A and B are shown apart, each in its own frame.
Chain A
Amino acid sequence: MSKPVLQISNLNKTYMLGKRPVQALTNLNLQVNQGEFIAIMGPSGSGKTTLLNVIGCIDKATNGQVLLDGIDVSKMPENQLYKIRRDKMGFVFQTFNLLPYLNARENVELPMEGKIKSKDERKKRASELLAMVGLSGRENHRPQRLSAGEQQRVAIARALANNPAFILADEPTGNLDSQNKQEIIKLLANLNLTHGTTIIMVTHDTQAANHTERMLLLKDGKIIKEKEGLHLAKKNNKCPNCGADIKLSDNVCPICQKSLTITDEPFSS
């Protein structure tokens, strides 16, 4: 087993909704190993996004400990946190959050500004990343000239800009049609496999969740269930049903013919 890159213990998060305190996360414990692809699921208000924010250092825990690579970030001041976000985190948002007045390449370059001094180097890397997400030749397009799927690809390229340890995706497929959904999930899964980037994805989408290797169900600020996803099987190259060797690209097991694309609700019980 890989080493843990994220260890959360006794995490509590309370925020004020007007004058009413809301307990978003309650005594939450979680360990994530390097290279894991995790889906966080749960009903609205269960604390999914709050958890992701705390992990991504864009929100602070009320109490508890968050260790990133062994470093406690829960007490870190903002003037250090931004560097963690910049160097270790890559965010992918539901609404893509591209800057509308910058073209695709410039959007991807943004996180590199504080890290890579040479503009040419930034340009080159951004173009490479865009090529990797399948957007070669569209570097100079502004977001409004790209489709939703393309915009999310740009956002993923931007998330990868500084070669982060984590990709934190908040409903990355929430605004996409089914075709684009699959492609984005495939892209993330491939990144996970090829780059070994740890991916933590908040999603409502069961199909998307099934393509991860571990699914967490959150309710009332606690993790109430965990389940393995298909991605783990593919990662291990074994059919979860018959144990036969499978390939990542297989949709059905070549031996038992069972579908390797799970469409049913993982937490339906």
Chain B
Amino acid sequence: MRKEPFMGIINRAIRNISRRKIRALLVIIALGFSMAILVSIPAGVLANQQTASTAATNLSNIITQTSAAINQTSTQIDCNLAPSFSGFGFSGFGANSGGSGSGSGFPPSGSGGRPGGGGFTPGQFGGGTVGGQFGGSAFSGGQSNPMNESLYTDINGTISGIGTVEPILQASEGQNVTRDLSFNGYSRTITTLEVEYTIEGIPLTSDLVNNYPVLPTNITEGSNLQAGASGEVLLSENNSAYFNAGVGDTITVLNQPFTVVGIYSPASVSQTQTLYMNLSDAQTITNNTGYITSFKVFATSSETVTQVASAISTLHPELTVTTDQTRLNQLQNLQTTYNSELATAQASNSQTYSTAVEEIAIVVVATSLIVLFVMLYTVKERTKEIGTLKAIGFSNSVVMSQFMLEGILLSIIAGIVGIAIGSIAAPTISSLLLPSVGLGGGAGAGVAVVSGTSRIGGLSIATLNPELILILFGASVLLGALGSLYPAWRAAKIRPAEAMKYE
């Protein structure tokens, strides 16, 4: 087709559409809504897929982390003094350590023995209440009572199935803060330790450092503590800020200089204020030589953990012995939940997809039918005009192009309207037409659980991206052409003699 007739065709198509304004408006609105649905459904599906894939990624991350945690700690047994033995306040210490029972806090250091800090005060406010401050491992329950290291050297020798024993000394340093509390008419003054940092001393033997998860793993700066290191510390990011020190700097911990070898990113909340050093260094600077606050026993395999734990309990009934068995079970349950969650999400996704395909098919058919009937009506209405055009020398192909173009033009305008509607109403439309955008139904409860962990991303919202807009534009051209093909063909078949009819 030459350019000139084509311009004429476009010109006439535009004039014809604008000639019947109300009709054009109604048709465009109807088509526009179809187009909006047409573009909103894929947007919804995309949003669904994104939501599901975010959820899947998050879930699988959780599963990975969980498995790692399970594997890492499956052989671990935490041992410390049972609350019943430590009793309340300071008595527990005396009973177990055999040291002098008087004075506050930890006997070797004496109460308030160190300026500016609470010293080593495990029993300061009862074993239970401030236990958390003393940290312990993330899952240990947080009770730390001082123990004489030598009392427990028998464990490794007498019980079989033990890989190694890791004695730990934890000491929190900070300010004593006194507060007046009133509760139901009772009023009392409580002094608590506001922890500024927690020292964790562990034996830096090559066996422990190289084979067991005793040190933080995610070092962000510098390097980890090496076996046999002394006078060196590994700081948490929090510590680094508190001491205002970086890798290579020297900090003073309880009047003793230490070189910072590395900084790590804490894996759990309880670790945020913990700095790591050699056990002997920790014992020295806290004046606790020969004492520890807890120890971990690593069984040779996860199968023998329970057996080893009960053997330890038998040997030292005063100890609280915790294995990760319970947590293991919990984590395994969680993993099962996550897996079924993923399956549900995928199922919901594929259901959404098939619904979307059906609906798109319906809308495509409906849109073409609208164009078809409108154009058929137009052709019928303009029979005489078409006859005239042919009588004065228009070819069939030009007449056909004329009506095809009119249909396509209508459809394109409707497409633009549809994009406008869709860009506002896509979330609403897609949520009305698709089985719950995101993870709906049975998946919901599971997602709520996962959401509780704050790891799942928000539900993705159906939005029109440029690709979708481009596709819809193409679709509107195509549907316009499809719908007006038959009417245009009918127009081309109109006999020129129709121009002569005068009713």
Q: Is A97 an interface residue (CB 8 A)?
A: yes
Residues of A within 8 A of B5 (CB): 113-114
Contact indicator A93/B500 (Cβ below 8 Å): yes
Q: Is A7 an interface residue (CB 8 A)?
A: no
Closest-by-CB residue of A relative to B4 is A117
Q: Is B398 an interface residue (CB 8 A)?
A: yes
Most chain B CB within 10 A, of A79, A89, A95, is at: A95
Contact indicator B393/A86 (Cβ below 8 Å): yes
Distance in angstroms between the alpha carbons of A119 and B393 in the assembled complex: 18
Distance in angstroms between the alpha carbons of A87 and B497 in the assembled complex: 18
Interface residues of A, count at CB 8 A: 37
Q: Is A56 an interface residue (CB 8 A)?
A: yes
Q: Is A94 an interface residue (CB 8 A)?
A: yes
Q: Give the shortest distance, in Å, between A153 (CB) and chain B (any CB).
A: 16
The interface bits of chain B over 361-391 (1 if a CB of A lies within 8 angstroms of the residue's CB, else 0) are 0000000000000000000000011001111
Asked whether A111 and B497 contact (CB < 8 A) given A95-B502, A102-B12, the answer is: no
Contact indicator B4/A86 (Cβ below 8 Å): no
Asked whether A111 and B499 contact (CB < 8 A) given A97-B384, A102-B12, the answer is: no
Q: Is B394 an interface residue (CB 8 A)?
A: yes
Residues of B within 8 A of A85 (CB): 390-393, 496
Asked whether A97 and B388 contact (CB < 8 A) given A79-B395, A102-B15, A113-B8, the answer is: yes
The interface bits of chain B over 106-144 (1 if a CB of A lies within 8 angstroms of the residue's CB, else 0) are 000000000000000000000000000000000000000
Contact indicator A58/B393 (Cβ below 8 Å): no
Q: Give the shortest distance, in Å, between B24 (CB) and chain A (any CB).
A: 13
Out of B12, B393, B396, B496, which one reaches A79, CB within 8 Å? B396
Residues of A within 8 A of B16 (CB): 101
Q: Is A91 an interface residue (CB 8 A)?
A: yes
Residues of A within 8 A of B19 (CB): 100-101
Contact indicator B499/A117 (Cβ below 8 Å): no
Residues of A within 8 A of B7 (CB): 119
Q: Is A197 an interface residue (CB 8 A)?
A: no
Asked whether A93 and B393 contact (CB < 8 A) given A101-B16, A117-B2, the answer is: no
The interface bits of chain B over 461-491 (1 if a CB of A lies within 8 angstroms of the residue's CB, else 0) are 0000000000000000000000000000000
Q: Is B455 an interface residue (CB 8 A)?
A: no
Most chain A CB within 10 A, of B16, B19, B396, B496, is at: B496
Q: Is A82 an interface residue (CB 8 A)?
A: yes
Closest-by-CB residue of A relative to B19 is A101
Out of B12, B384, B393, B396, which one reaches A111, CB within 8 Å? B393
Q: Is A110 an interface residue (CB 8 A)?
A: yes
Distance in angstroms between the alpha carbons of A90 and B384 in the assembled complex: 17
Q: Give the shortest distance, in Å, between A151 (CB) and chain B (any CB).
A: 13
Asked whether A53 and B395 contact (CB < 8 A) given A97-B388, A117-B2, the answer is: no
Q: How many B residues touch the partner, as a band?
A: 20 to 34
The interface bits of chain B over 11-25 (1 if a CB of A lies within 8 angstroms of the residue's CB, else 0) are 010011001000000
Q: Is A127 an interface residue (CB 8 A)?
A: no
Contact indicator A82/B4 (Cβ below 8 Å): no
Q: Give the shortest distance, in Å, between B416 (CB) and chain A (any CB).
A: 23
Asked whether A58 and B502 contact (CB < 8 A) given A99-B385, A114-B398, the answer is: no
Distance in angstroms between the alpha carbons of A85 and B388 in the assembled complex: 11
Q: Is A212 an interface residue (CB 8 A)?
A: no
Closest-by-CB residue of B relative to A159 is B392
Closest-by-CB residue of B relative to A99 is B385
Q: Is B327 an interface residue (CB 8 A)?
A: no
Query: B1-57: which residues lie under 8 A (CB-CB) from chain A?
Result: 2, 4-5, 7-8, 12, 15-16, 19
Most chain A CB within 10 A, of B12, B390, B391, is at: B391
Asked whether A59 and B495 contact (CB < 8 A) given A102-B12, A102-B15, A113-B8, the answer is: yes
Contact indicator A83/B497 (Cβ below 8 Å): no
Q: Is A245 an interface residue (CB 8 A)?
A: no
A–B complex contacts, Cβ < 8 Å, 13 sampled: A58-B390, A58-B495, A58-B500, A59-B496, A82-B393, A82-B394, A85-B392, A85-B393, A93-B388, A99-B389, A101-B19, A110-B394, A117-B2
Closest 7 CB pairs of A and B: A86-B393, A58-B496, A97-B388, A101-B15, A85-B393, A111-B392, A82-B395
Q: Which residues of A contact B (CB under 8 A)?
A: 49, 52-53, 56, 58-59, 78-79, 82-83, 85-87, 89-91, 93-95, 97, 99-102, 110-111, 113-114, 116-119, 158-159, 161-162, 170
Q: Which residues of B contact A (CB under 8 A)?
A: 2, 4-5, 7-8, 12, 15-16, 19, 384-385, 388-396, 398, 495-497, 499-500, 502
A sample of 11 more A-B contacts (CB under 8 A), given A114-B393, A114-B394, A116-B4, is A58-B499, A79-B396, A85-B391, A86-B392, A90-B392, A91-B391, A91-B392, A95-B384, A97-B384, A99-B385, A102-B12
